[in-house]
Amino acid sequence: MTFTHECGHIIGGMTCGATLTDFDLAPWRMPYSLHSPDPHPLVTLWAGPILGIAVPISLAAIIRKRWAWFVADFCLIANGGYLALAWLSGDRFLDTPRLLDAGAHPVTIVIYCVLTIGAGYVWFRSDCTHYIAPTPKPQDGGEP
């Protein structure tokens, strides 16, 4: 989740002419990317959560395996949850306060969070039930 999310910021910055000054994608640390100058910070900032869900969902659709949807559905919850919790924390280095500072309308963030967390929860719960539920055993001597 964090890899596709942060790569989204990097790709978003590259497509709108931002200069990548520093980044870290190491999985054992909090990933980040810094752009300066960034002529279109809303594109750079929104590209993270958008590609953070679009890439895993696209890969799951191509792979067409239940485990791939499990990962994609987790990424939906994680990206939406991250923006929601970043908003609550108010930490100026996290995406949501930066989105708001760059001019994102709060309603767009709320819509993103509601859609991703809502759909992600329903689908991820179904995935978990599929993997955690006991496998039915055939009955001895009875009809199938």
Pick the closest to residue 6 from 16, 15, 27, 57 (CA basis).
27
Asked whether residue 136 carries a pLDDT value surpassing 80, the answer given is no
Note the pTM of the prediction, 2 decimals: 0.88
Say how far apart CA 12 and CA 10 lie, in whole Å: 5
- The ranges assigned to domains in the chain are 2-128
Say how far apart CA 52 and CA 68 lie, in whole Å: 14
Beta bridge partners of 22: 34
Q: What are phi and psi of 72, to 5 degrees?
A: -60, -40
pLDDT, tens digit (0-9, with 9 covering 90-100), for 2-42? 999 999 999 999 999 999 999 999 988 989 999 999 999 99
